């Protein structure tokens, strides 16, 4: 085998053989295939695609590059969830303890934010003492004793994907659906969960801007999960508007705790319960009611145990940014649009996100929403509050909010977009 022949096959719209795929993934992981060669192959895949057989083999080769976890010793069935990322997407925080409170084990391997989309680990690290990095033994122990764990994936899990993702990020090939699908699913399958629910975001604040691309990605990932023996379901969910009323690390933790306490924004509660029901059904748990587990405090109990088990203090005061800037409504009427991407970029520029993986984040930075589309607003009332420790960032963040919201005349009819758009199984 050689890299040039593999590149030429896909460049000329050919189908990569299983042997070619196995070799190129292994050789790239070992350093035998150079970055410039793999970036050329990734671009050929972006332009010419892959069929289901190729994607399945590519995913299997990435899984085979590292270890596989085993949760067979647990007394509960396992169920996991993956979101393709969005603005204000704090759903994992209330969802994992909620599903655990209903009888499943939730091994949630999560990531950090990059660009305008937030990262679950960054959010949880705003809780004093909380640790994202756990050994496999520690992860299994937390999962066994509390029912849920949220932590970083170890270096041994699909190392080929880690290397390839970093390359795609700097070569303009992140958008390749076969590579997105195999990247997500290789880690989830190697993780060893018995069932998986995918939350595929659609809209301006999501990676997939239109529903056709989101549907293709979801269908591809559901197929990959099925091919590897993992019961997989996908929900396409709206990301034209930020989820909830916050975008930022400590801000989103605070809102998640409100949800676990039986309150919180309606859209966050609705999506959390919808995903919980899918996860429980996929795990074979039919008689649990996640809405009841939120209301009676049992999900909150699991949250407190889970945070404590990873070194965090669930009673600690969360960080608050030193400076705030209020954006007021320029006119009275009905708020008909609040663009998720603009809000996400503002939060990122305020310090809640990072441009490079090694960049630090501010725990208290972000954007707080005082109105959502469909709400009536009055000229001069607070529309958004920007939070940061570095006030010199306000001007840069405000530029990203230009043109991100529309206010129509009072009495204008507004038709809300459903939170869940489609289900793919």
Burial per residue of 165-194, b for 16 or more beta-carbon CB atoms within 10 angstroms, e otherwise: bebbeebebbebbbbbbbbbbbbbbbbbbb
Cα 281 to chain center, whole Å? 21
Residues with catalytic roles: 82, 161, 168, 183, 187
Q: Is 79 exposed, middle or buried (0-12, 13-18, 19+ CB in 10 A)?
A: buried
Which CATH number belongs to the domain containing residue 292 in this structure?
A: 3.40.1030.10
Q: What is the pTM of this model?
A: 0.93
What string of pLDDT tens digits covers the 425 residues of the chain? 899 999 999 999 999 999 999 999 999 999 999 999 999 999 999 999 999 999 999 999 999 999 999 998 999 999 999 999 999 999 999 999 999 999 999 999 998 887 788 899 999 999 999 999 999 999 999 999 999 999 998 888 899 998 998 888 788 888 899 999 999 999 999 999 999 999 999 999 998 999 999 999 999 999 999 988 999 999 999 999 999 999 999 999 999 999 999 999 999 999 999 999 999 999 999 999 999 999 999 999 999 999 999 999 999 999 999 999 999 999 999 999 999 999 999 999 999 988 776 788 999 999 999 999 999 999 999 999 999 999 999 999 999 999 999 999 999 999 999 999 999 99
Q: Is 234 inside any structural domain?
A: yes
Q: Quote the longest CA-to-CA distance of the chain.
A: 67
Q: Within this chain, do residues 356 and 299 fall inside the same structural domain, yes or no?
A: no
How many structural domains are present in the chain?
A: 3
For residue 377, what are the domain limits? 323-408
Q: Is 127 inside any structural domain?
A: yes
Count helices and strands in the chain by DSSP H and E runs: 16, 13
Closest by CA position to 246, among listed 350, 317, 330:
350
Q: Is 215 inside any structural domain?
A: yes
Which CATH number belongs to the domain containing residue 330 in this structure?
A: 3.90.1170.30
Q: How far is CA 377 from CA 330, 369, 371, 409, in A?
A: 10, 12, 8, 10
Q: Last residue of some domain: 260, 281, 309? A: 309
Q: Is 422 inside any structural domain?
A: no
Q: Is 188 inside any structural domain?
A: yes
Q: Within this chain, do residues 231 and 99 fall inside the same structural domain, yes or no?
A: yes
Which CATH number belongs to the domain containing residue 41 in this structure?
A: 1.20.970.10
**What size, in residues, is the chain?**
425
Q: Within this chain, do residues 251 and 388 fall inside the same structural domain, yes or no?
A: no
13 φ/ψ sector (left φ>0, alpha ψ -120 to 50, else beta): left
For residues 282, 286, 290, 296, the Cα torsion angle rounded to the nearest 10 degrees is -150
Q: Within this chain, do residues 283 and 223 fall inside the same structural domain, yes or no?
A: yes
Q: Within this chain, do residues 221 and 292 fall inside the same structural domain, yes or no?
A: yes
Q: From CA 390, how far away is CA 392, in angstroms rounded?
A: 5
Q: Within this chain, do residues 147 and 258 fall inside the same structural domain, yes or no?
A: yes
- Exposure on the CB side of residue 307, measured as CA atoms within 13 A: 23
């Amino acid at each position: 085998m050689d890299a040039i022949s593999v590149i030429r096959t896909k460049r000329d719209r050919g189908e990569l053989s299983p042997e070619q795929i196995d070799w190129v993934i292994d050789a790239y992981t070992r350093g035998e295939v150079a970055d410039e060669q793999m970036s050329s192959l990734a671009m050929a895949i972006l332009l010419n695609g892959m069929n289901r057989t190729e994607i399945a083999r590519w995913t299997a080769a990435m899984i085979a590059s590292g270890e596989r976890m085993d949760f067979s010793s647990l007394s509960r069935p396992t169920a996991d969830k993956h979101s393709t990322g969005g603005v204000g997407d704090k759903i994992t925080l209330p969802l994992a303890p909620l599903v655990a409170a209903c009888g499943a084990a939730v091994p949630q391997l999560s990531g950090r934010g990059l660009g305008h989309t937030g990262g679950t680990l960054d959010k949880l690290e705003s809780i004093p003492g909380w640790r994202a990095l756990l050994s496999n033994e520690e992860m299994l122990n937390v999962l066994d004793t509390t029912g849920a764990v949220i932590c970083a994936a170890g270096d041994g899990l699909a190392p080929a994907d880690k290397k390839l993702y970093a390359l795609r990020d700097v070569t303009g090939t992140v958008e390749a659906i076969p590579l997105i699908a195999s990247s997500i699913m290789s880690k989830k399958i190697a993780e060893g969960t018995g069932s998986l629910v995918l939350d595929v975001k659609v809209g301006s604040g999501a990676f997939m801007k239109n529903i056709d691309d989101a549907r293709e990605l979801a269908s591809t990932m559901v197929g990959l999960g099925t091919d590897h023996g993992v019961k997989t379901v996908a929900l396409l969910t709206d990301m034209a508007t930020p989820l909830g009323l916050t975008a930022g690390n400590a801000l989103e933790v605070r809102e998640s705790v409100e949800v676990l306490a039986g309150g919180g924004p309606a859209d966050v509660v609705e999506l959390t319960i919808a995903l919980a029901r899918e996860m429980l059904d996929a795990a074979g748990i039919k008689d649990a009611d996640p809405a009841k587990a939120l209301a009676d405090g049992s999900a909150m109990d699991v949250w407190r145990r889970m945070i404590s088990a990873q070194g965090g203090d669930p009673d600690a005061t969360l960080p608050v940014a030193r400076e705030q800037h209020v954006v007021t409504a320029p006119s009275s009427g009905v708020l008909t649009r609040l663009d998720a991407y603009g809000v996400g970029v503002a939060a990122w520029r305020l310090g809640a996100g990072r441009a490079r993986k090694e960049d630090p984040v501010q725990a208290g930075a972000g954007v707080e929403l005082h109105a959502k589309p469909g709400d009536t607003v009055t000229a001069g009332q607070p529309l958004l509050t920007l939070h940061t420790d570095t006030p010199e960032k306000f001007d840069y963040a405000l530029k990203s909010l230009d043109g991100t919201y529309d206010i129509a005349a009072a009495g204008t009819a507004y038709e809300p977009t459903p939170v869940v758009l489609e289900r793919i199984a």
